[in-house]
Amino acid sequence: MKTVYDETETNRAIEGIVDRIAGEFPSAEPINIVGIRTRGETLADRIAAKLAGRGYGQIGRGILDITLYRDDLSEIGPGPLVRPTQMNIVVDGVPMVLVDDVLFTGRTVRAALNALADFGRPRIIRLAVLADRGGRELPIHADYVGADLGQLPAHEKVCVKFTENDGVDGMTVEPRHSP
């Protein structure tokens, strides 16, 4: 296990994402920040709190569980618990920032986009990720990237830690456990 981003660097990366969002969307207009379970949820909390601190007054919050939209359901076998999606927000016509911790194959994001289509038609969807580790299998890219880790080998896995879940902020690269 090696630490690639420590606490300060992780927070700077989140701050960078918030800068980019603030550069594109005015604080006086509504914006939806939607996290993908489970780590995207925490990152979305952080981003929304920082935007609120910068005067954004109409932030809609949502959480997506994309399990039911995965295209590899029959391959992953008995799954972890499916948790509720929470999308009690006005989706139509409002810009949305979709938030996840790590961007890898792009399949989670594809599933999230499919799920979102069932809730309405946002004016625009941007993708924010804390880390881009390369390895895309679909034509998907992130708009706001906290940390560009280049092309990591497939046998390595990026672990994002947040104080809320793990007691500390940071990012490590670890060997992927074979299932």
Query: Could you tell me the smallest distance in angstroms from the CB atom of residue 39 to other proteins?
Result: 14
Query: Could you tell me the smallest distance in angstroms from the CB atom of residue 67 to other proteins?
Result: 8
Q: What is the distance, to the nearest Å, from the Cα of residue 7 to the centroid of all Cα atoms in its chain?
A: 18
Query: Could you tell me the smallest distance in angstroms from the CB atom of residue 157 to other proteins?
Result: 19
How many DSSP H helices and E strands does the chain contain?
A: 5, 8
Question: Restricting to residues 106-135, which ones interact with other proteins according to CB under 8 A?
Answer: 114-115, 118-120
Question: Restricting to residues 45-84, which ones interact with other proteins according to CB under 8 A?
Answer: 65, 67-69, 73-75, 77-84
In angstroms, rounded to a whole number, what is the distance separating the alpha carbons of residues 41 and 80?
A: 17
Query: Could you tell me the smallest distance in angstroms from the CB atom of residue 128 to other proteins?
Result: 24
How many of the chain's residues bind other proteins (CB under 8 A)?
Answer: 23
In angstroms, rounded to a whole number, what is the distance separating the alpha carbons of residues 55 and 98?
A: 20
Question: Restricting to residues 84-103, which ones interact with other proteins according to CB under 8 A?
Answer: 84-87
From residue 10 to residue 49, the character string flagging contacts with other proteins as x (rule: CB under 8 A) and all else as - is ----------------------------------------
In angstroms, rounded to a whole number, what is the distance separating the alpha carbons of residues 98 and 64?
A: 9
The beta strand positions in the chain, using DSSP E, are 2-5, 31-36, 59-64, 96-103, 125-132, 144-148, 156-161, 170-175
Instruction: Give the Cβ contact number of residue 120 at 10 Å.
Output: 14
Positions in the binding site for other proteins (CB under 8 A): 65, 67-69, 73-75, 77-87, 114-115, 118-120
